[in-house]
Amino acid sequence: MRPAIRTTRHDWTVEEIVSLHDLPLLELIGRANQVHREHHDPNKVQKASLLSIKTGGCPENCAYCPQSAHHREVDLTRDRLMDPARVVAMAATAKRAGAERFCMGAAWRQVRDGKDFDAIIEMVKGVRQLGMEACVTLGMLKPHQAERLAGAGLTAYNHNLDSSPEFYGKIITTRTYEDRLETLATVRAYGIDLCCGGIIGMGETICDRASMLQVLANMHPHPESVPINALVPVAGTPLADRPRIDPLELVRMVATARLVMPGSTVRLSAGRSALVREAQILCLIAGANSVFYGDTLLTTPNAEIGEDAELFAAIGQPMFDPVSPTAA
Ligand code: SAM
Ligand code: DTB
Ligand code: SF4
């Protein structure tokens, strides 16, 4: 690969980021693609599989989330923490289907020590023994817990900022932006990669999107992984009636994330199933280099396996076993 010619910066202003975001679309995509090619193999799209290991009943009130106990009208079956052996078996299935990373999500406000956390440690070790990257998202984390996760070989911890510091309070009131940043710093301190991104389509402005990217891009180092989610409006949540965003807004967000965080893995995350194959490919040209792969995200449907087979065939990347990566 050619050496990167652009330096990685950590001093972005919101105005600069907005001006990149609002470039004429073809210019934006062209620039983002150039930076992408300088830092990554343009033909490589990582497949990551997601599994909800503990579903629903979360005490936080995130307005977008079907798993919040505050949103009583959501049609969701709560589930206790899964058995580690079953989780690792599902990771093995995902690996056979071509996933390189296995992400496990729990609807918790924070991690508590005890048998549930011991089970998480077992899951992380099991996934790593399969030779896969392991990522967990468990809510807030204390230093000794991060230390145990690092010791188990955890690759990355997902903890999203979701939106700008300014818009955050309109979406979540049971925790603060500061709480989020504190957990991120704890994760970093123990040498675990950060997976940190957000959601667009919740009613935020372009300035909010740029402001969230500024917080991420001014971290030193940048988060290794940046998931860009489009809101999946779920019946019974306060954001149920929000219209789906125009796919080109996702393209712009991905491209801007790529420009300000050249070396990070940008993940085209929730909302992908609403995009036609060609819109997804535009996101990949604009700098996305990973997708969540499997029939379901955590609780909502993802792009179907058959559709993904067509997507990967179109870009000339192999799919392995056509079995669903999250099949039991
Ligand atoms: N409880 C943990 C936490 O919030 O950090 C982990 C699980 S939480 C479901 C993981 C992420 O999923 C959230 O930070 C949010 O960005 C994303 N998410 C949840 N519901 C979503 C929705 N309806 N549309 C898009 N993204 C969503
Ligand atoms: C992320 O940013 N998106 C994923 C993963 N990290 C954990 C989760 C998306 C969840 C979408 C709603 C659901 O399926 O419940
Ligand atoms: Fe709980 Fe995470 Fe959902 Fe917020 S996003 S309600 S913290 S599971």
What pLDDT digit, counting tens, does each position of 266-294 carry?
Answer: 999 999 999 999 999 999 999 999 999 98
In percent, how much of the chain has pLDDT > 90?
A: 92
Please give the average per-residue pLDDT across 163-182, as a whole number. Answer: 97
Residue 1 pLDDT grade (very low, low, confident, very high; cuts 50, 70, 90): very low
Give the ligand 2 atom nearest the CA of 105.
7
The three-state secondary structure class of 297 is coil
Residue 3 pLDDT grade (very low, low, confident, very high; cuts 50, 70, 90): very low
Give the ligand 3 atom nearest the CA of 66.
3
| Chain centroid to CA 69 | 22
Residue 319 pLDDT grade (very low, low, confident, very high; cuts 50, 70, 90): confident
Q: What value, to the nearest 5°, has the Cα angle with vertex 317 and ends 315 and 319?
A: 125
State phi, psi for 198 to the nearest 5 degrees. -165, -165
Residue 30, CA distances (Å) to 37, 209, 226, 259 in order: 11, 20, 20, 11
- 240 or 294: which leads in pLDDT: 240
* pLDDT over threshold 90, residue 230: yes
Any idea where the domains of the chain sit in the sequence?
14-312
**Rounded Cα distance, 281 and 314, in Å:** 9
Q: Which of 31, 180, 209, 267 is catalytic?
A: 267
* pLDDT over threshold 70, residue 326: no
Active-site residue, 103 included = yes
The alpha carbon dihedral of 197, 274, 236, 76 has a sign of: negative
Q: H or E element: which one contains 194?
A: strand 193-195
Q: Does the C-beta of 226 come closer than 6 Å to ligand 1?
A: no
Active-site residue, 207 included = no
CATH 3.20.20.70 assigned to domain 14-312? The reply is yes
Which pLDDT value is given to residue 56?
Answer: 97
Which pLDDT value is given to residue 286?
Answer: 98
pTM: 0.96
**Ligand 3 centroid, distance to 256 Cα (angstroms):** 26
Which pLDDT value is given to residue 290?
Answer: 97
Q: Does the C-beta of 29 come closer than 6 Å to ligand 1?
A: no
DSSP conformation letters of 204-243? --HHHHHHHHHHHHTSSSPPSEEEEEEP---TTSTTTTPP
**Rounded Cα distance, 270 and 227, in Å:** 9
- Ligand 3 pocket check: which of 51, 60, 157, 171 to mutate, most ligand atoms within 8 Å of Cβ? 60
* pLDDT over threshold 90, residue 7: no
Tokens of 305: 């396996």
Active-site residue, 196 included = no
**Which ligand minimizes its atom distance to the CA of 212?**
1
Give the ligand 3 atom nearest the CA of 70.
6
Tell me if the bond preceding 59 is cis, omega within 30° of 0: no
* pLDDT over threshold 80, residue 327: no
Active-site residue, 267 included = yes
* pLDDT over threshold 60, residue 237: yes
Task: Give per-residue burial for 178-199: e unless 16+ CB within 10 Å, then b.
Answer: ebbbebbebbbebebbbbbbbb
Active-site residue, 135 included = yes
- 158 or 319: which leads in pLDDT: 158
What pLDDT digit, counting tens, does each position of 122-160 carry?
Answer: 999 999 999 999 999 999 999 999 999 999 999 999 999
Which pLDDT value is given to residue 144?
Answer: 98
